[in-house]
Structure 1
């Protein structure tokens, strides 16, 4: 259950990051509310996961999902560069997160 909670925390982090970008563009209260919900729920799920997972592993995987997911959302939703080098580095971050799961 802790690993599921950790992945959910990373996905909520992605929502929060996407809402930061949306808030910069739209400046409306809905984006701000979703930003708070995204980051708030992300921290709650992370805290739950850290009850049984090592702090270093949980934090690294949480940030890896958030960073990779944020970059992918930028490419898919906001027209950011889809250069193959960028995709390779995103895969490296995800590979490192998977490696931490394997050795934990």
Structure 2
């Protein structure tokens, strides 16, 4: 009867592996959250470029145009996956908007 109360070695191993797997998933989610924030900030930083362009100090439109293209591809990828990747979509969408705005204002 006492042997039924204690987990077997195989059950214990499975419990440890499950705990380690959950910890790993939590770590990956945390990295994903930080990456989302960093990506969002990177694209929002185009606001300074847009203001500079509007004040008569234009930059080259090539880099923001390709940033917008890159962001569009990542948004599309995140949207078209069988399970939508909202972190990727949210992090990249500002790149579409601000990249296009920065490129357009640079060409004015």
TM-score bin (small chain): 0.3 to 0.5
Q: Could you say which structure has the larger radius of gyration?
A: 2
TM-score (norm 2): 0.33
